[in-house]
Amino acid sequence: MFTFGWVFTPIVDVEIRCQNTINIPIVFHVIHNSADTNHEFETGVLSGKIYEQVDIINKAFNGRFQGDKTTKMSPTISVEQEHEFRFYIAGCESGGRMGIVRTNSQFTACQIPDITNPSFGGSTPWSIDSFINVYVGDFEACGLSGLSTQCDSLSEESSIIVIDYRFLGRNNMEGLDRGFTLVHELGHYLGLLHPWGNDFDGCISDDGIEDTPNQSRPYYGCPSFPQRSCGSTDYYFTFMDYVDDNCMELFTPGQINKMIATLESKYPFLLTNKVNCDIDYARYNFCDLVGLYPNPVFNGFLYINISENLHHYNHIRAVNANGKCTKLSIEVIDEVIRVNVNNLNSGDTCTKKVLVHSE
C-alpha cells in the first residue's frame, strides 16, 4: 500500500477516475544509419527529446493547447472531455528505455516498406494490437515529415507511424516547431481523416465527424479567423488540418469520440495495458539532451551536442575526479561545439561530469 498524505474517499471516485483514463503505450523505434555521421540526428533523438514529445502528445489529446479560435466559434466548442488520455513509453519500468528501441542499420530514407524488416535494416514492431509503434529516422531525402497508416487489416507492415527526426518534439522546423506533426499522425492512426475528407477542392466528401463542418480544402500558415467554405465556418485550427503548429488548438469532442471508437473496435488490447511506471515526461532530464562523442577521444577533439542555441557558450570547463577545472578552447561548427582537448594533461580528463555554461 502506498501512502500519499491524503485519503481518497469515497472509493468509488477513484474507480470512476480510472475508468475514464485511457492508457496507451508507445514504442519508439529510432533508426540510426550506421553509414552516416549526422550529429544533428544523434542529438535530435536523445531520450529526453522523446520524453518531451510524449508530454506534447498528452497535452494535445487532453485539450491543453486551446486558444482564442476555440472560444470564438459559435456555437462554442465544448472542450470538456469525458476521458483522459495518457500516452506513455512502453516498458517504462526501466526508465522509459525499454520502449525506445535503437537500431543501427544501412537503412536509407525512402525504403519505408522495409522499415519493419530486420533483414533490411529495420526494426520489428512490438505487437501492433497492444502497442503503437512510432518509427523515427532521417527521411528528408523523400520529403517526408510524417505518415500514418489507416488499414482495415492489422499487419506489422501496415500499422505504424513514421516521423522524420527533425519534427520530433520542439524543434527548428519553421511553422511545424511545436511537436504537433506526431499528434496529427496519431489522429490518423486512430481513425481521423482530414476535415476535407478525400477531395482537395470541393465539398463532396468530408471526415465523417459531426462537429467538424465540411470544408473544401486544407489551410496553410495561420489564416485569420474566421474562414468559410461549403456554407459554414471551417475548423481549420484542429490538429487534423495543415496549418502551422502555432495555429493548431484541439481535437473536437467528435474527433475524440471517433478515436475512442477506433481504439475499441480496432485496437482493443491497447486499452488493457497497465501503466507500470509514472515518468513525469514534462520534467525530462536536461543531461539526457546532451551528446558527447567520440568517447573516448582519439583525435584530439571532443564534440558536444546540446538541444538549444549554442552560440552564447564561449567556454567549457572540464572537471576531473579531484574537482580541478581546466578551461578549454571551443568553437561552434554547424550547431555543434568542438572542444580542443590536445592541451589536457594525464589525469585532466573528465571522469565525473562536464559543466557547460556561459561566461
Chain segment 43-69, per-residue pLDDT in tens: 668 788 888 899 999 999 998 888 777
Name the phi and psi angles at 233, rounded to 5: -80, 130
How many C-alpha atoms does 237 have within 13 Å on its Cβ side? 24
The overall average pLDDT reported for the chain is: 74
Amino acid making up residue 183: V
| Domain end marker among 277, 301, 326 | 277
Q: Residue 170's domain is classified under what CATH number?
A: 3.40.390.10
Domain count, the chain: 2
The residue range of the domain holding 309 is 289-357
Mark whether 332 and 264 lie in a shared domain: no
Judge whether 211 lies within some domain: yes
How many C-alpha atoms does 247 have within 13 Å on its Cβ side? 19
Helix axes 180-189, 47-61, angle to 10 degrees: 60
CA 292 to chain centre: 23
pLDDT band at 76 (very low <50, low <70, confident <90, very high): low
Mark whether 119 and 154 lie in a shared domain: yes
Q: What's the confidence (pLDDT) of residue 354?
A: 40
pLDDT band at 353 (very low <50, low <70, confident <90, very high): very low
Mark whether 129 and 258 lie in a shared domain: yes
Mark whether 34 and 155 lie in a shared domain: yes
Pairwise CA distance, residues 226 & 220, whole Å? 14
Pairwise CA distance, residues 86 & 58, whole Å? 6
Judge whether 5 lies within some domain: no
Nearest to 55 by CA among 187, 176, 169: 169
CA distances from 311 to 40, 44, 222, 333 (A): 16, 18, 30, 10
How many C-beta neighbours within 10 Å does residue 311 have?
8
Mark whether 164 and 309 lie in a shared domain: no
* Cβ atoms of 40 and 335 closer than 8 Å: yes
* Cβ atoms of 92 and 215 closer than 8 Å: no
Mark whether 250 and 316 lie in a shared domain: no
Listed range (111-120, 308-317, 333-342) with the worst mean pLDDT: 308-317
Three cell numbers, residue 250: 484541439
Mark whether 19 and 104 lie in a shared domain: yes
Three cell numbers, residue 1: 500500500
104 strand-pairing partners: 32
Kind of pairing between the strands at 146-148 and 132-137: unpaired
Pairwise CA distance, residues 213 & 207, whole Å? 9
Chain segment 285-309, per-residue pLDDT in tens: 444 445 566 656 656 777 776 544 4
Pairwise CA distance, residues 295 & 249, whole Å? 43
Mark whether 125 and 255 lie in a shared domain: yes
Chain segment 195-230, per-residue pLDDT in tens: 998 877 789 888 999 889 999 999 999 999 899 999
